[in-house]
Amino acid sequence: MVQFAQGTTPEQNAEVFESLKAKADALNARFRHHSATAVMEGALNDAGHIALVSSFGAESVVLLHMAAVIDPMVPVIFIDTELLFTETLIYQQEVSERLGLRNVQIIRAADIAEKDPYGALRFSDTDACCALRKTAPLQRALSEFDGWITGRKRFQAGTRAALEFFEVEMEANGPTGRLKINPLAHWAPEDVRAYMDENRLPRHPLVAKGYPSIGCAPCTSPVQPGEDPRAGRWRDQSKEECGIHVVNGQFVRTGA
């Protein structure tokens, strides 16, 4: 993996970015007219050591099913924030068993007891809570990988209108040294529903209860008809992101 290290010069940083960008461009050119399954298979075979990061949320089962068909041993990273809905934890177990996924890695932050012993951090600083329970443990888990697969799609936000299959992962101080792979970048909402129907995939039980976007239980509420699918995430707050998806140091919406 081309690794970005703390303290590197802007020139070195640019060199890392250009190397990864060339790799992403080549893969995008190769798979431009291919299916999502082909993109995922190409990523797993030709992009290095790749993990699938899954929240086991409302639409996660699509990518999980694709991965299981290609290779049941694909590393699947699931972050247990210890604030998730019980339904999500049960769904994660049931989907993993049903699809035959044999390399699901359940990650938890090791310092919650020290930094948030009473679980009250979310009341005073939701960004810090997300960073502690989700973003930091994910970055640690991804440190051994060359890239990771996400479920992001172009329709989810204007900032994603030109989302490519392969892109360089950026953080506030430069490239991380990893690629982000978005096999479903070109999919529309009806494509997601059709895939789930055709393959008879199990739905997250909370979707039927008005939760089209599912995160931690204390920070997720039902969505009313006509509302944005993510209206129930951090309701009545300006916060829209947990911090996992960052572009040039700026948070962007992840969509449903």
Catalytic positions: 242
Q: How far apart are CA 249 and CA 75, in angstroms?
A: 27
Q: How far apart are CA 144 and CA 183, in angstroms?
A: 21
Lookup: tokens for 184: 């479903």
User: Coil, strand or helix: which one is 22?
Assistant: helix
The candidate with the shortest Cα–Cα distance to 143, out of 234, 51, 69, 226, is 51
CB 18: neighbour CB atoms within 10 A? 12
CB 117: neighbour CB atoms within 10 A? 9
The greatest distance separating any two alpha carbons of the chain, rounded to the nearest whole angstrom, comes to: 51
CB-based contact 221:237 (threshold 8 Å):
no
In the block, tokens 């640019």 appear at 14
Give the residues across from 180 on adjacent strands: 148, 167
